């Protein structure tokens, strides 16, 4: 009897290759069992990576050792195997329970002393002078494991890392990614099957950040007459005061490798910590923050050049259409642009100051969560259970569709007269998306930040790493609660034919 929850129905058959670069009894066992699990689920395991057909590539790296970038497999995929596109690249790192506990303890002790305490740490190949602040922010969000995660990624020269804790056999594993997720998988009878399902989930979706510039530039005079750009900058400062956005995570803070090689390996130089957007009736478009992968964007201190105008979604769903403003750089919008704009297609429109507009006025996304909310003012719409057990990530088609489906189910949005003015959903291992309706007399986002101030929407730095729910509390609010036990359910075939 399978005890894992059912996977996503859209999983696809994958070709996987193993190219180990470090060995140990633990790593050898893990790779052997992963290969067996892939085959048992119907996937193809090949001896040699094929740049045309191999979608998942798994290598290994030693724990605590800095892998020299010239020898790191990530930067040699084109030379060694002819890859011109990035496969789903994973690095398995093995560590003994004792070493893992010791490192977590010393990171925890350093976090207790703040940034200066972190600067006193010593990790091979890491400049703590520049890494300490980023580690501090990660530690605030997820504790010592989230801070240590960035060190392990930097040393292994890999974004997706499977950290396995054990001696000759695993006791537990953690999965790390760019967003800073760190879900823990305790050892259980279907340990390897669960890891494979998580990996295949990420490989079975596509990136939807292929945004396209369209139309003529928006005239400068028209732009300067709008109130929305100033409202976006005001909201930026308002959310910064409420500690909603974390500083941008820059790879260069942890590891020094040539920028051109980073780009050729399809890794962004920096990783932005959220995005937000609001509707501009005059343009009949969504004014949003620009992507943080092109250049650093301080979401808590926006400038005019940090704004983009989203006017639609590509027919294939692989990106958004956007217009540039005369005199501004014209950078594309955030990676979540498809879901930010696309959710309105399945929701009603309302009248606002003589114009027809979407029922959602403003949308806010951040790597935060909600600790509690007032159900009389706020609606929570959960994602399907599979997203809690087999998470997806930012800029993916799977996340965009899940978010759009969630808000399409929101009663408060489908019924514009519903008194609840806010709705939110949470993508586990990623963050929260909050939307507000049009409220007379209030500026864009004001309903959101006032709800934060009044307790109707209590935020949390910690993002759920697995199943969770909300339960009634004595104060009349719904409170976050982790689900600690999953009910055994039969698992259907994890390999399904892709949709035609």
Of 155 and 394, more confident: 155
- Domain assignments of the chain as residue spans, ordered by start: 15-203, 226-286+335-466
116 burial type by CB count under 10 A (0-12 exposed, 13-18 middle, 19+ buried)? exposed
- Mean per-residue pLDDT, 262-267: 46
pLDDT band at 251 (very low <50, low <70, confident <90, very high): low
b/e sequence 363-386, b meaning 16+ C-beta within 10 Å: bbbbbbbbebbbeebbbbbebeeb
- Mean per-residue pLDDT, 293-318: 87
The predicted pLDDT at position 272 comes to 61
The predicted pLDDT at position 266 comes to 44
pLDDT band at 245 (very low <50, low <70, confident <90, very high): confident
In order, the DSSP letters of 200-221 are: HHHHTS-B----EE-SSPBPHH
Q: Residues 3, 189: contact at Cβ < 8 Å?
A: yes
Helix axis angle, 191-203 relative to 25-40, nearest 10°? 70
Taking the C-alpha atoms of residue 30 and residue 191, their distance in angstroms, rounded to an integer, is 10
Task: Count other Cβ atoms within 10 Å, centred on residue 466.
Answer: 16
Helix (H), strand (E) at residue 247 = none
Helix (H), strand (E) at residue 279 = strand 275-280
Which tens digit of pLDDT belongs to each residue from 8-66?
999 999 999 999 999 999 999 999 999 999 999 999 999 999 999 999 999 999 999 99
Helices (H) and strands (E) in the chain, counts: 15, 24
User: What is the phi/psi pair of residue 431, to 5°?
Assistant: 160, -170
Which tens digit of pLDDT belongs to each residue from 192-204?
999 999 999 999 9
Taking the C-alpha atoms of residue 477 and residue 479, their distance in angstroms, rounded to an integer, is 6
Q: What is the CA radius of gyration of the chain?
A: 23
The predicted pLDDT at position 280 comes to 98
Please say if the pLDDT value at position 497 is more than 80.
no
The predicted pLDDT at position 312 comes to 98
Beta bridge pairs of residue 471: 479
Which tens digit of pLDDT belongs to each residue from 138-149?
999 999 999 999
- Mean per-residue pLDDT, 430-441: 97
Q: Quick one: what percent of the chain has pLDDT higher than 70?
A: 91
pLDDT band at 398 (very low <50, low <70, confident <90, very high): very high
Q: Residues 314, 212: contact at Cβ < 8 Å?
A: yes
Name which of 244-258, 267-281, 283-297 the model is least confident about: 244-258
The alpha carbon torsion through 27, 28, 33, 36 (nearest 10 deg) reads: 130
Name the region of 157 (left: φ>0; alpha: ψ -120 to 50; beta: rest). Answer: left
Taking the C-alpha atoms of residue 407 and residue 434, their distance in angstroms, rounded to an integer, is 10
pLDDT band at 274 (very low <50, low <70, confident <90, very high): confident
Average pLDDT of the chain to the nearest whole number: 91
The predicted pLDDT at position 3 comes to 85
- Mean per-residue pLDDT, 417-424: 98
Please say if the pLDDT value at position 493 is more than 70.
no
Quote the Cα angle for 112-113-119, to 5°.
Answer: 120
Taking the C-alpha atoms of residue 477 and residue 457, their distance in angstroms, rounded to an integer, is 9
- What 8-state DSSP symbol labels residue 252? G
């Amino acid at each position: 009897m399978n005890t894992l929850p059912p996977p996503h129905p859209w999983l696809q058959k994958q070709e996987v290759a193993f190219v180990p670069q470090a060995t140990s009894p633990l790593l050898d066992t893990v790779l052997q069992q992963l290969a067996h699990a892939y085959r048992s689920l119907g996937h193809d395991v090949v001896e040699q990576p094929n740049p045309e057909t191999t979608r998942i590539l798994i290598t290994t790296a030693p724990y605590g050792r800095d892998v020299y970038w010239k020898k790191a497999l990530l930067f040699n995929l084109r030379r060694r195997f002819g890859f011109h596109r990035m496969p789903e690249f994973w690095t398995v790192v093995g560590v003994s329970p004792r070493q893992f506990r010791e490192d977590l303890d010393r990171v925890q002790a350093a976090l207790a002393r703040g940034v200066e305490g972190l600067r006193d740490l010593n990790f091979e190949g890491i400049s703590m002078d520049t890494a300490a602040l980023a580690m501090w922010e990660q530690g605030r969000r997820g504790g010592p494991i989230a801070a240590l995660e960035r060190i392990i990624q930097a040393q292994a020269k890999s974004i997706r890392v499977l950290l396995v804790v054990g001696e000759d056999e695993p006791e537990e594993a953690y999965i790390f990614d760019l967003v800073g997720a760190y879900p823990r998988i305790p050892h259980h009878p279907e340990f390897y099957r669960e890891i494979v399902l998580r990996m295949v989930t990420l490989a079975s979706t596509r990136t939807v950040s292929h945004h396209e510039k369209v139309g003529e530039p928006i005239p400068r005079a028209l732009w300067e007459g709008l109130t929305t750009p100033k409202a976006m900058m005001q909201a930026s400062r308002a959310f910064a005061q409420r500690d909603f956005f974390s500083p941008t995570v820059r790879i260069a803070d942890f590891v020094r490798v040539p920028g051109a090689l980073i780009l050729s390996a399809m890794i962004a130089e920096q990783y932005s910590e959220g995005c937000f957007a609001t509707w501009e009736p005059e343009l009949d478009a969504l004014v949003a923050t620009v992507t943080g992968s092109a250049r650093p964007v301080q979401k808590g201190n926006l400038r005019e050049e940090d704004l983009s105008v989203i006017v639609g979604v590509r027919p294939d769903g692989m990106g958004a259409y956007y217009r540039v403003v005369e005199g501004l750089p014209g950078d594309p919008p955030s990676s979540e642009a498809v879901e930010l704009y696309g959710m309105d297609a399945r929701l009603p429109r309302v009248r606002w100051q003589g114009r027809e507009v979407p029922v959602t006025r403003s949308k806010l996304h951040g790597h935060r969560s909600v600790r509690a909310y007032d159900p009389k003012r706020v609606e929570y719409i959960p994602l399907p259970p599979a997203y809690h057990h087999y998470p997806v990530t930012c800029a993916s088609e799977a996340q965009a569709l899940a978010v759009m489906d969630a808000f399409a189910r929101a009663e408060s949005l489908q019924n514009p007269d519903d008194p609840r003015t806010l709705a939110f959903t949470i993508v586990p291992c990623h963050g929260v998306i909050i939307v507000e309706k049009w409220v007379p007399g209030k500026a864009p986002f004001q309903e959101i930040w006032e709800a934060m101030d009044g307790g109707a929407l209590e935020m949390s730095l910690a993002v759920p790493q697995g199943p969770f729910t909300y339960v009634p509390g004595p104060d009349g609010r719904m409170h976050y609660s982790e689900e600690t036990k999953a009910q055994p359910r039969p698992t259907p075939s994890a390999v399904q034919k892709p949709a035609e």
